[in-house]
A and B are shown apart, each in its own frame.
Chain A
């Protein structure tokens, strides 16, 4: 990390401080491409394409990416970045605008959702105080569909090439081609593996894995959230239980950042319906192969229920 300033003291006369600040800012040395990734999956994808980039990862799999605070550390990280790689489609609307406003310096913004078709779009839908989190553009959790990840990778490679020196661009193209080839092979294998799951019903909390379900042909028949983004309430869970009893789903699926108690309760009440806690994304410091390992893990957890 660039650490060019001494610890702060009581402000001296303003002009002196301002002058010091100007010097610090202008005397910034040339450095490696610095990327601010809003979510760990985009950090991993950046590592696939540009392993030399310096990365700041704003969130981790244990956090709800809708509810990140515009923490001072994140402002400093965005301030240092040349490129911000985020999901878009409203996922970061509660915190990224504030970071951008406070950073005093705007990196380029790459929004992955611009490069794929979104599911569950609600054209014209407006958020009201009673509607929960409305994403009119569609479900923003696109990274759980490996086919869409492939499309994002192509867009990101183009963006990275535009920012890197000419000498480094061919390497990015080569890494993209290798990733695409490898990933297409894996997608075919995952689809074969998941074939027995097609058509199975699942109860899920939030639309976090909506793309995964759509890709694998799983049917999300119930949402533990009464409204999108609203924490499960006892009344709503009771209703779900009543409606699901006749035909219990194959699993209750929640994400690693969600409180497991509501899901655990529902799975317990629906005797024999297992609770799956799926990791929302890869680790923040995930090396490139971990994207595939994460997807392998998701498939493994889901397949464990397919025999039921």
Chain B
């Protein structure tokens, strides 16, 4: 999508708003829920950090947040989330979400504006406290800084089909994907996404969802200095933990989720299988067709009792690290095994073991990391998506 396209998206959105205001009828009974407030606390103890990981060694305050969400008049809904976390011993605060969304546009259309998590992939839109593993998959850590939220616009349509089918477009500033853009990169809404999600039940016990997303990133990462020393250390200063480590012009992301609950009673027992794969091309102006970043994640989680879950995940990353006019190959594999105890839905205690292998051009891969995570929610913490 070009910049003019983003502008036309804005115009279209304004038209739709006007249209819906004209069409809106007074409801028979107000259907908007009240404002809700909640907080989440995440404490994690890590034996040694993972390469490209989001957790420090020792005790860390993970992604903890305060959220408020609710209606703003009859046509809008708003949500704001402030987060705190410690990173390398320092307390970091931020506004993670601050958005407005329409609730009454016709034809299943929804427009959102503000700061929010992009709907690409399966995991990106989920709040990290609902994750099944202590660390996000390598795919997210390497390409999106763990969790890609950004300032922008979204227009979605849920189609009137008997199965679930959503098609949506977003336009973002893209600062998090490319922290330091090369001269000449566009300002404004430099990144656009296009996503579709499909899903249905096979029967009482089986449900599935498939997603396909495309990201068009017009912000090119600033080139490394030509007189650099080869080695991963050189990049540490440029690529801060929160941003993406690897970027490129075009991304394709495929995600699939399969859930099975015996008898359909997911509260008692449930198997969740998840798969995500990403391919990024157009790394920079020196990239050839064969230069691409790829990553995938495959996970299985089994709830064997209302309060206990066990899960495994296998991650794989292959990337091309730019060095002036050429690239270095980066490779990393990671396996994670976790056991979680959830005595109530407001608390989770998770023990995880992760191991990284086949590391090439990756600094400090972990040969074994133990993590103990405690997540606690207060008040309303929002319903979780599938």
Contacts and interface: CB of A to CB of B under 8 A. Distances in A.
Interface in A90-111: 93-98, 101-106, 108-110
B259 A4 contact: no
B50 interface: no
Given A93-B383, A102-B166, A76 B161 contact: yes
Interface stretch (A11-19, A141-149, A174-182, A191-199): A11-19
A127 B305 contact: no
Chief secondary structure at chain A's binding surface: loop
Contacts of B259: 69, 71
Given A11-B196, A63-B264, A109-B29, A98 B167 contact: no
A126 B377 CA distance: 12
Interface stretch (A24-32, A207-215, A265-273, A291-299): A24-32
A251 to B, nearest CB: 22
B201 interface: yes
B386 A72 contact: yes
A117 B30 CA distance: 20
Nearest to A257: B265
A70 interface: yes
A67 B270 CA distance: 12
Given A72-B386, A129-B347, A259 B160 contact: no
A106 B157 contact: no
Interface in B298-340: 305-307
Interface in B138-177: 155-167, 169
9 nearest CB pairs, A to B:
A72-B199, A25-B107, A72-B164, A104-B158, A98-B383, A1-B162, A67-B267, A104-B108, A231-B306
B167 A11 contact: yes
Interface stretch (B88-96, B206-214, B360-368): B206-214
Nearest to B192: A14
11 contacts: A11-B194, A17-B196, A25-B108, A25-B157, A26-B106, A69-B384, A69-B386, A73-B164, A98-B384, A110-B29, A129-B376
A5 B161 contact: yes
Given A25-B107, A94-B345, A132-B344, A72 B198 contact: yes
A73 B159 contact: no
A129 B344 CA distance: 7
Specify which of A70, A72, A94, A105 lies most central, judged by the most chain B CB atoms within 10 Å of its CB.
Answer: A72
Interface in B332-386: 343-347, 376-380, 382-386
A11 B192 CA distance: 14
B197 interface: yes
Contacts of B347: 129-130
Specify which of B160, B200, B376, B380 lies most central, judged by the most chain A CB atoms within 10 Å of its CB.
Answer: B160
A25 B107 CA distance: 5
Interface residues of B, number: 68
A127 B160 contact: no
Interface of B: 1, 27-29, 31, 33, 77, 101, 103-110, 155-167, 169, 194, 196-201, 204, 207-209, 212, 214, 259, 263-268, 305-307, 343-347, 376-380, 382-386
Contacts of A73: 163-164, 199-201, 207
Given A64-B267, A98-B385, A11 B214 contact: yes
A79 interface: yes
A5 B212 CA distance: 18
B264 A72 contact: no
B305 A231 contact: yes
Contact of B265 (A4, A26, A64): A64
Contacts of B31: 106, 108-109
Given A2-B161, A75-B199, A102-B166, 7 more contacts: A10-B212, A14-B1, A17-B194, A18-B169, A71-B199, A97-B382, A129-B344
Interface in A1-55: 1-5, 8, 10-11, 14, 17-18, 21-22, 24-26, 28
Contacts of B109: 22, 25, 104
Contacts of A4: 159-161
Interface string A226-253: 0101110000000000000000000000
Contacts of A204: none
A24 B306 CA distance: 41
A3 B345 contact: no
A18 B157 contact: yes
A173 to B, nearest CB: 17
Given A8-B198, A60-B264, A231-B307, A17 B167 contact: yes
A18 B167 contact: yes
Contact of B344 (A24, A94, A227, A257): A227
A72 B197 contact: yes
Contacts of B197: 72
A289 interface: no
A159 interface: yes
A94 B383 contact: yes
Given A8-B198, A63-B267, A76 B164 contact: yes
A63 B268 CA distance: 9
Nearest to B195: A11
A201 to B, nearest CB: 26
A266 to B, nearest CB: 17
A4 B380 CA distance: 37
A105 B108 contact: yes
Contacts of A109: 29, 31
A117 B56 CA distance: 52
Given A22-B157, A104-B109, A129-B346, A70 B376 contact: no
